[in-house]
Structure 1
Amino acid sequence: MMFEPGKDQCKKLVFQPAERNKQPILETLLKHIDPNSQGLFLEISSGSGQHVVHISEKFPNIRFQPTDVENIYIRSIKAHIEDGCLKNVLDPLRLDVSEPPESWGEGTMRAASFDYVLNVNLTHVSPWICTEGLFRGCHVYLKPKGLLFTYGPFAMNGIISPQSNVDFDKQLKIRDPTWGLRDIEVELKPLASRFDFELVQIHDLPANNKLLVWQKK
């Protein structure tokens, strides 16, 4: 992690992994979202804010709602938005996916109001209850046929590959036994089905990550 210089040194955070993956994520989103389309886009667990400011520039007619559970990230997101003078990015809201959906966004969000949801690097660094909460809440807030994008490293049919991801999974579980790479077939698809989501595409991205595209029925 490094901090941006200047007056927002204690607020605006910049993470190198986000710098590396923000463009591949954007390029993949462009395969599913027309850059001229309108709509409302929710980012869950926005972290530093690097993703939302980068992505929003390519979709000027879409309004973006960043969120996070940590105040340090809320401040960072605000600093990135201010620096970018972005008119289509709303002020960040507090959102904890482990809480009931009605509490999301401090109770200000409307059901079935979002066209798209993006979540980056949450499922493997949080307890399973957070992954359940992610799909439960998106079932409430996404419109019918809306798209949920989840990014990160995943297992498939009980197999984790390559070895770097195996090692990463072990490190995560040493840190917290409730963390770890989630299995697309064994865990995520059955969970998604419970909340009326279907996996429509899997994109392989750099650094052994994937972007999964889920559509609400």
Structure 2
Amino acid sequence: MLCAAAAERNKQPIADVLLQCVDPRLPLQALEIASGSGQHVVHFAQQMPRVTWQPSDNEARSLVSISSYIEATKVNNVKPPIYLDASQSWETWGGLQPNSVHLIVNINMIHISPLNCTEGLFQGAGKLLKPGGLLLTYGPYSINGIITPQSNVDFDYSLRQRNSEWGLRDTSLLQALAEQNEMFLEQGGKFFILEFERNLHFCSP
């Protein structure tokens, strides 16, 4: 199994935000895009046992790791992981159907992937989410062209040195992509919570 130190640190803070945004007592369908090691999805499943989770990733080693975490934790509300490349059309996303998902979660992908992955994420969310469904993304962002603190400035520089297609995305870009795909943006620190076809007032972490 893969083990990411960052995932261990942030899995509970992200779960806390999710628990503010959805009612875990309801039988909801959730999709995690870019599940990575699988640490997040099994943790969320343990905290929200009535939510059925569909993990996904585009790397074979991650798919193996996710399956290992599911087996090790014995969670019964996580489906087997599917191959999903966010840069490709949502029709290729493992047979997922339009208007079938209440919640989409995407953690630490946007800044370490080409822009077409972010565009694909928003386009797919606009198709797959039910009315009133939520898209939650987590990661560092540029806000109106400004990156803070200095550690994020340095991080952005290092990402762009590694790959010119990577780097922190600006909130204005995310807002534009949200609106293009019938979603509205709510900002909350490192989180962006997007609700499909409805202004979002009740979820402000």
TM bin (shorter chain): over 0.9
Alpha-carbon shift at residue 203 of structure 1 (Å): 2.5
Amino acid at match of 1:123: I
Matches within 5 A, 1:115-194: 115-185=102-172, 187-194=173-180
Answering whether residue 183 of structure 2 is matched by residue 197 of structure 1, we say yes
CA deviation vs aligned residue, 1:69-107 (integer Å, no higher than 9, x gap): 0010000000000011111000000000011110012xx
Output the amino acid matched with 1:13. L
Pick the structure with more strand per residue.
1
Query: What is the one-letter code of the residue matched to 2:183?
Result: F
What residue identity is the alignment partner of 1:203?
G
Query: Shift in Å at residue 35 of structure 1?
Result: 2.1
**2:41 is aligned with 1:55:** no
* 1:113 aligned onto 2:119: no
**1:7-58 deviations in whole A, cap 9, x for unaligned?**
xxxxx11110100010100011111111212110000000000000001111
Of 189, 192, 203, the residue aligned with 1:212 is: 192
| TM-score (norm: length of structure 2) | 0.94
The one of 10, 33, 48 aligned to 1:21? 10
Q: 1:68 aligned to 2:57?
A: yes
| Whole-Å separation in 2 of the counterparts to 1:20 and 1:164 | 17
Q: Is the 8 A contact 1:40 1:62 kept in 2?
A: yes
Give 2:203's aligned residue: none
Counterparts of 1:35 and 1:139 in 2: how far apart (Å)?
A: 23
Equivalent AA in structure 2 for residue 125 of structure 1: I
Identify unmatched segments of 5+ residues in structure 1. Answer: 1-11, 205-209
- Structure 2, unaligned runs of 5 or more: 198-205
| Aligned pair partner of 2:31 in 31, 35, 42 | 42
Give 2:69's aligned residue. 80
- The residue identity in structure 1 corresponding to 2:184 is E
Runs of 4+ in 1 over 3 A off after TM superposition: none
